[in-house]
Structure 1
Amino acid sequence: MNNWQSYLKEYQNYLRLERGLSENTIANYTFDIEKLVSFLESNSFSESPVNISEEIIQQFIYEIAKEVNARSQSRIISGLKSFFNFLVFEDYRKDTPMVLIEVPKVGRKLPDTLSTEEIDSLIGAIDLSKNEGERNRAMLETLYSCGLRVSELIGLKLSDLFFEEGFVKVTGKGNKQRFVPIGKLTEKYINFYLEGYRNHLKAVKGHEDILFLNRRGKQLTRAMVFTIIKDLTVKIGLKKTISPHTFRHSFATHLLENGADLRSIQLMLGHESITTTEVYMHLDRKFLAEVLNNYHPRK
C-alpha cells in the first residue's frame, strides 16, 4: 500500500500550503484515508488511489456504517470526497469514485469563490510603498487573470512572457506547456514590477530567468504566496477561507458566469480532460450532461 502513501503525502502538502489548514485538521483528513487503506489491506484489495472503483468505496462505506454514527460517517465521506477531488484536480484521475456516494446534510460546503470586488479589495490593500508591493500586485493579478496554479505562478520565467502576442507560456503538470492569454492591465503591472524592482535585484545563480523573486534573489515558495494572500485577507477583514487556489477557481467561475464555454476554460486551465473542468466548476447536473454529450470523446 506504499503507493497510497505517496499520494497521501502530496495531498497533505496541498492541504497545508494551498488550503492553509491546521495540522490538526490535516491529521483528521489523513485519518479518513488511512481508514480506507486499512479496509483495503484487511480485505486483500490491491487497488491504488488512481484505479480504486466506486464499488469498493461503497463496500467500505457499508462497513464503517456498522461502526460509527451518521455524523462521523459524513465526516469520513467528506474527507474521501476531498481526497479524490484533489486527485482529479491534479490530473491523476479522470473522475472521482465518490460521485454517487451521498453525504448526510452535515457535510462540508463548497469552497469559497471571490467576487471581482473582493479581488479588487485584496489587491488594493497591497502596500506599494514597500519594495515587494509591486511584485505582490503583479503576482496576484497574474494568478487571477491567467487562472494559474500556484506552482505555475512561481515557476513563470522572464522568457515565458510574450506580451506582443498577448500570451504567457505556462508550464503545468508533467512539464506540459500551454499558452494562456494575458490582459493589458496585468501586462502593465508586471512591467511596473520589472522596471521598479525586479530589474534592480541581483538574482541567485540558477534563478536569473525566474519572474517573481524574493528579496534574496530566489524563486518564491508556494508557502510564501499563501502567506501573502492570508495577510491581505486579514488586512481587509475578509471572512472567507481562501488560498492561491481560490484565485484560479474564481477565474474559471467568473469566465463561466460571463458566458465562456467549458472547452475554452479547460484549455486555459490546462486540464487534459473536460471532466476535470466539470468537477472543478460545481455545475448543475443537467448542464454537465449537455456539455459531456457535446464534448466528451467517450459520449
Structure 2
Amino acid sequence: MERPIGVIDSGVGGLTVLHELKRQLPKEQFIYLGDTLRCPYGSKGEEEVIQYTWEMVNYLMKFDIKMLVIACNTATALVLEQLKQNLPIPVIGVIEPGARAAIKATQSNHVAIIGTENTIHSQAYEHALIRIKPNIDTTAVACPKFVPLIESGNFVLEEAKEIVEESLEFINHYPTIDTLILGCTHYPIIQSLIEEVVGPRVTVLSSAVETGFEVSTLLTFYNLYHANTEEIHEPAIFTTGKLHVFQRLKEDIFQLKNASLKHITLS
C-alpha cells in the first residue's frame, strides 16, 4: 500500500493530471516521467509510440509502483489495452474519464474533441463516448501546433492566441457544440486561453479531475490506499529532456514547489 503510483506522459502535459491526483490523494506517493526529449507523440508512428511508452513504463516499474496512470491521450489510445494485459498492476488511461465528464456536461448532445493527430485518428474518444451514449454527436479536430507551443514555454505570447484562434476556428461552424474535450493533457496548461477563444457557450473539459476520481476508486477496490495517514510525500519528477519548462510549470502553475526534478535517459 505504501508503494508509489506511476504517472507517464510524453512531456509536461501530464503535470495537469499529477496536480489533480496530488490534490485528491495528498497522502499517496507519485513518480512522474515525462519523455520531453521525444515529444510530441501525437505525430509519431504507432510502433514508435508503443516502444517509447513501454520504455517509460519499464523505467517506472523499477520503483515497484502499485498503479500506472497513462497521462497521455496518444499513449492511452494506442497502448492502454496492451499495458493492461501485460502488467501485474492496475493501469488507468485518461480517455474514458474524459468521455464520462463530457457526457455529464453536455446539454446539446454535441461534443467536440481536440487532440493530437494520433489521438484524433484513433477515434478513441468517439468510441468511448458512443459506448456510454450511443446517440451522441461528435466533432473531432487535431491541433498539432498546441503541444510544441506548450513544450516551448512560450504559450503566454500573442502568437499563442493566434495559434489557438486558428486551430479552434471550426467551433464557429457548429453552433450546437456546447462541450469541448481537451483530448491531450498538455492542453489544460492553456485552458484559460482556449476558454477565451471559444467563449462562454462552450464548456471546456480536462480529464484530470475524472481521472483522479477513477484512481481513488481503484485504490479502494484493490485495497491499495497508502496506510500511513500522517506522512506526506512530495512527487518525484523525471524527464528525458530539458528541465527549465518543468521547473517553471511545477512551481508557478501546479504548486509542486517541493517536488524533486531530475533528468534521466531511457534506452
Normalised to the residue count of structure 2, the TM-score between the two structures is 0.28
Higher helix fraction: Structure 1 or Structure 2?
1
Bigger Cα Rg:
1
Normalised to the residue count of structure 1, the TM-score between the two structures is 0.26
